[in-house]
Amino acid sequence: MSTEKEPLETEDDIIGVDDDETEPVVEPAKSNLSKRRTIDNLLEERRLQRQLADYDFDL
């Protein structure tokens, strides 16, 4: 190994990133609320189906 300090080779070609591509897409609250309601409805339907399946019809 040499004791001399050699300059590091660097590339001056820097690839820029567009700011538009890096911003996260913010969904409106209305669509988030409608998605949440849809999920809640599906969970409620599953819960009711389980209760119906567990119900003893021979009372």
Confidence of residue 21 (pLDDT cuts 50, 70, 90): low
pLDDT tens by residue, 22-54: 677 776 778 889 999 999 999 999 999 999 998
Find tokens 């890096």 and name the residue.
22
Q: Which three-class secondary structure state does DSSP give residue 46?
A: helix
Confidence of residue 2 (pLDDT cuts 50, 70, 90): low
Per domain, the residue ranges of the chain are: 28-54
Q: Which three-class secondary structure state does DSSP give residue 21?
A: helix
Report the pLDDT value the prediction gives residue 51, as an integer from 0 to 100. Answer: 92
